[in-house]
Amino acid sequence: MPEAASVQATIGDSEFDRDTAVTRRSPGVYDVDLSAGWTIIGAVNGGYLLAVLGRALAEALPHGDPFTISAHYLTASQPGPAVVRTDVVRTGRTLSTGQASLFQYDPEGREVERIRVLASYGDLDALPDDVRTTAKPPAIPPIEECFGPQDAPGPVPGGSAIADRLFLKLDPATLGWALGAPSGKGEMRSWFGLADGRDPDPFSLLLAVDALPPTAFEMGLEGWVPTVELTVHVRCRPAPGPLRVAISTRNLAGGFLEEDAEVWDSADRLVAQSRQLARARLTN
Amino acid sequence: MPEAASVQATIGDSEFDRDTAVTRRSPGVYDVDLSAGWTIIGAVNGGYLLAVLGRALAEALPHGDPFTISAHYLTASQPGPAVVRTDVVRTGRTLSTGQASLFQYDPEGREVERIRVLASYGDLDALPDDVRTTAKPPAIPPIEECFGPQDAPGPVPGGSAIADRLFLKLDPATLGWALGAPSGKGEMRSWFGLADGRDPDPFSLLLAVDALPPTAFEMGLEGWVPTVELTVHVRCRPAPGPLRVAISTRNLAGGFLEEDAEVWDSADRLVAQSRQLARARLTN
């Protein structure tokens, strides 16, 4: 799908898979190495971090697919070594629940907790096919009418290492902020994929929900919008091909806003829903 | 507001406050007594349970107001004694994060975990007044044109102890299910309060988001819709007076559905948003 990919990477053999890999140190404890490749202006992307934690829980639990995963972001993660400690809360026939924390190390080598998550896992392939969804896929123009960081004439404001790893093509209707004319609406829509052509899976969905520019930009705000809490529901294993991500914000108040994301696959299935609470800087 | 309340109860001195009270057993550990008054056909209501856990965390953390609280429901709670064990994850200047688990006892007296939550608390009164909300209050008729359990000619299907403690007046447009003619739309709207007239606070908002009949009823499904996970964002301290709650479901698929709730106060402020993932029985 992305034009640049000469040899298409596959699920299990791609940069995303290597950079979210977890290595078992002892039962339930996993060493990881946070890659600098998924940073936004130096900060490690919250969706990438959630995918790392999600993979650790998939190892620790008897079920392999995140159905619902909630993360509270405590301190800012840095590229480099980290450890994920997991706890099996309950195992059931169709759902298992686990907890995980990601720690890094302070200058004295002490563990500092970065993120804590609580999640319930199941088997997406075991779900019945019944669909009664009333939601419609987002109205987003064809890929060739959308724009990504590589289409910009110069360096993009907020340009980042992660941009090289993502295939993002934003709906021009939500790109006013990049031209200095934000629409004032809390909406952001984009085509989404991995730059090396790896197809989506439940773990890359955890990345997809937090990879677009913040809706706050289209509401005329600037600067960082740090996530306090992010919950993702994975509803269906995504079909191969590009995803469409639509994010909306209805309530910006008291210095906080929510971002609701919907992710649709190439088969027009609503494959993930997420909501996050983030802090906003109400400076202008 | 509720017609039946002869003497209006107040925040701190009401049935809801007494039934969600927590008693410190040791640092971070709280004894509670789950009341049979908040059950729906024998099952303890998930929003009531969240309020109990929310109050325990308010005791354990330096901040008193839940900003975002995520609960994973593990096993069905029963009326009777329980214990809440809390863990302070991180304390910060504006936000503190904590974890809590509610346990009950099996016949051998061993603790069985019912619910685990992860939450970030702050001080709602310290938030700036800035509001740029684009969401509009739900279109719901005046209270006198809405209907509650007490308006039914006979016993209500699903009638429950909790109905006596709530002031619920449902929008007739979302009441088709009660007349055997569900609309097919995943919507439920109601006025909400406590029957004794106690005004809303952040803890009763945790109840409000999970107190309406399931949207699944209006989609033609029957039976129990057990919550897997529920996340609530409290965005503003509610003004006195009745609340309006609007719940919507966009995606019913694979045996699961999400329920998104918005809670509006009498001052037309969006005071809480929630999303839950629940299981649906796709039998008809």
Chain segment A43-64, per-residue pLDDT in tens: 899 999 999 999 999 999 999 9
Chain A CB contacts of B119 below 8 Å: 72
Instruction: Read off φ and ψ for residue A62, nearest 5 degrees.
Output: -70, -15
Mean pLDDT of B206-211: 97
Tell how strand B166-170 and strand B187-194 pair up. Answer: antiparallel
- At residue B137, the pLDDT reads 95
Distance between A15 CA and the closest CA of chain B, angstroms: 31
Residue B160: band (very low, low, confident or very high) from pLDDT cuts 50, 70, 90:
confident
Residue that is written with structure tokens 């709650």 in the block? B245
Please state, in angstroms and rounded to a whole number, the distance separating the CA atoms of residues A71 and A226: 13
Mean pLDDT of B188-215: 96
The tokens describing A40, both together, are: 């936004």
Residue B153: band (very low, low, confident or very high) from pLDDT cuts 50, 70, 90:
low
The tokens describing A260, both together, are: 């609701």
Distance between B249 CA and the closest CA of chain A, angstroms: 8
Chain A CB contacts of B225 below 8 Å: none
B145 and B170 in contact (C-beta within 8 Å)? no
- At residue A283, the pLDDT reads 57
- At residue A43, the pLDDT reads 87
Judged by CB atoms closer than 8 Å, whether chains meet at A253 and B132 is answered as: yes
- At residue B157, the pLDDT reads 56
Judged by CB atoms closer than 8 Å, whether chains meet at B72 and A68 is answered as: yes
- pLDDT of residue B158 exceeding 70, the answer is no
Q: Which of residues 91-150 of B touch A (CB under 8 A)?
A: 95, 97, 99, 113, 116-120, 124, 127-135
Judged by CB atoms closer than 8 Å, whether chains meet at A120 and B95 is answered as: no
Chain A CB contacts of B97 below 8 Å: 72, 74, 116
- pLDDT of residue B250 exceeding 50, the answer is yes
Interface test with A, best of B69, B91, B112, B132 (most A CBs within 10 A): B132
Q: Which of residues 38-57 of A touch B (CB under 8 A)?
A: none
Chain B CB contacts of A269 below 8 Å: 253
- At residue A133, the pLDDT reads 86
What does the mean pLDDT of chain A come to?
93
Percent of chain B with pLDDT over 70: 94
Mean pLDDT of B78-89: 97
pTM (two decimals): 0.95
The tokens describing A206, both together, are: 């955890």
User: Is A68 touching B (CB cutoff 8 A)?
Assistant: yes
Tell how strand A256-264 and strand A252-253 pair up. Answer: antiparallel
Please state, in angstroms and rounded to a whole number, the distance separating the CA atoms of residues A150 and A197: 16
- pLDDT of residue B277 exceeding 90, the answer is yes
Mean pLDDT of A179-200: 95
Distance between B92 CA and the closest CA of chain A, angstroms: 9
- pLDDT of residue A160 exceeding 50, the answer is yes
Distance between A150 CA and the closest CA of chain B, angstroms: 32
Q: What is the pLDDT of residues A96-123, one digit of tens each?
A: 999 999 999 999 999 999 999 999 999 9
CB neighbours (10 Å) of residue B204? Answer: 26
User: Is B235 touching A (CB cutoff 8 A)?
Assistant: yes
- pLDDT of residue B220 exceeding 70, the answer is yes
pLDDT-wise least confident of A23-27, A275-279, B162-166: B162-166
Judged by CB atoms closer than 8 Å, whether chains meet at B255 and A127 is answered as: yes
- At residue B179, the pLDDT reads 87
Distance between A151 CA and the closest CA of chain B, angstroms: 31
Distance between A221 CA and the closest CA of chain B, angstroms: 11
Residue B222: band (very low, low, confident or very high) from pLDDT cuts 50, 70, 90:
confident
Distance between A154 CA and the closest CA of chain B, angstroms: 32
Judged by CB atoms closer than 8 Å, whether chains meet at A135 and B228 is answered as: no
User: Is B258 touching A (CB cutoff 8 A)?
Assistant: yes
User: Is A75 touching B (CB cutoff 8 A)?
Assistant: yes
A113 closest CB neighbour out of B89, B118, B252: B89
Residue A203: band (very low, low, confident or very high) from pLDDT cuts 50, 70, 90:
very high
Chain A CB contacts of B270 below 8 Å: 250-251, 253
Instruction: Read off φ and ψ for residue A127, nearest 5 degrees.
Output: -75, 145
Please state the ipTM of this predicted complex. 0.94
Percent of chain B with pLDDT over 90: 83
- At residue A54, the pLDDT reads 98
Stronger pLDDT, B2 or B141, i.e. the higher one: B141
Integer angstrom CA distances of residue B124 from A284, B48, B133, B176, B274: 22, 21, 17, 38, 17
Residues forming beta bridges with residue A47, ordered by sequence position: none
A130 closest CB neighbour out of B70, B127, B253: B253
Stronger pLDDT, B112 or B151, i.e. the higher one: B112
- pLDDT of residue B119 exceeding 60, the answer is yes
Q: Which of residues 1-20 of A touch B (CB under 8 A)?
A: none
B273 and B146 in contact (C-beta within 8 Å)? no
Judged by CB atoms closer than 8 Å, whether chains meet at B254 and A90 is answered as: no
- At residue A129, the pLDDT reads 86
- pLDDT of residue A158 exceeding 70, the answer is no
- At residue A284, the pLDDT reads 43
- At residue B270, the pLDDT reads 97
Please state, in angstroms and rounded to a whole number, the distance separating the CA atoms of residues A133 and A131: 6
- At residue B284, the pLDDT reads 43
Residue A282: band (very low, low, confident or very high) from pLDDT cuts 50, 70, 90:
low
The tokens describing A160, both together, are: 């980042």
- At residue B238, the pLDDT reads 98
Mean pLDDT of B58-81: 97
